[in-house]
Amino acid sequence: MMNSIIRFKNFEFEHNPETLLITSQKNIAKQNVLNSKSVVRETGDNSRIVTGEGHIHGDDCVYKFVKLFSLKEQSGSGILSLPGIKPFYAFFESLEYSADPTPELISYKFVFREDCSKNKNLLVANRFYTLESGEDLWDVSYKFSVPIEILVKLNPELNSVNDIEEGTVVTIC
């Protein structure tokens, strides 16, 4: 189903969830007017909601779940990257845990909610960008709508897309 890995902030899901549901709805309002007639109007988009279910397995499954739970406990939104969809800012809204009878398997469910307040129309001012504190190549990919694969090709000197020092200058086009 999915070729690329799901990623939120600096966390990559080792194994993508078995199910992924993205809900996107418009706000529609019905307004009554004279003569018992009504008008239906579109009043904007609701934030997207992403839900999923999966399993964490292996000897270290508890450690991996604690890492995921710690991410959920962080405040603020971050960039959520999903297969086939342009990355967007989202909040990690909820995480549900259920242990299976086997000690090396944890089942989980999650909910992400889009952060509509973030500016999604950032423009490329020039060919280069200087990374700020906590940013990595994934953040640059989102900010400038440049696929991660292209950024990797444009910056072969970088050893990792995740572990890059603040102040590093990257080529974006």
pLDDT under 70 in the chain at which residues? 1-3, 43-44, 100, 119-126
The pLDDT, as a whole number, for residue 126 is 55
Number of domains composing the chain: 2
Place of tokens 């009878």: 101
pLDDT per residue as tens digits for the range 25-61: 887 777 777 777 777 777 667 789 999 999 998 899 8
The pLDDT, as a whole number, for residue 109 is 96
Asked if 137 and 155 sit in the same domain, the reply is yes
The pLDDT, as a whole number, for residue 107 is 92
CA distances from 110 to 54, 96, 143 (A): 9, 6, 25
Asked if 102 and 131 sit in the same domain, the reply is no
Asked if 107 and 159 sit in the same domain, the reply is no
State the DSSP H helix or E strand holding residue 97, giving kind and residue range, or none if neither. Answer: strand 85-99
Asked if 138 and 108 sit in the same domain, the reply is no
User: Rounded CA gap, 25 and 44, in Å?
Assistant: 9
91 close to 48: Cβ distance less than 8 angstroms:
no
Sorted by sequence, the CB contacts under 8 Å of residue 27 that are 6+ apart come out as: 42, 43, 44, 45, 46
Asked if 141 and 108 sit in the same domain, the reply is no
Q: The domain that contains 160 carries what CATH number? A: 3.10.350.10
The pLDDT, as a whole number, for residue 147 is 82
Asked if 126 and 87 sit in the same domain, the reply is no
The residue segments making up the domain with residue 54 are: 1-119
Q: The domain that contains 50 carries what CATH number? A: 2.40.30.200
Asked if 126 and 76 sit in the same domain, the reply is no
Asked if 82 and 9 sit in the same domain, the reply is yes
Place of tokens 């999650």: 110
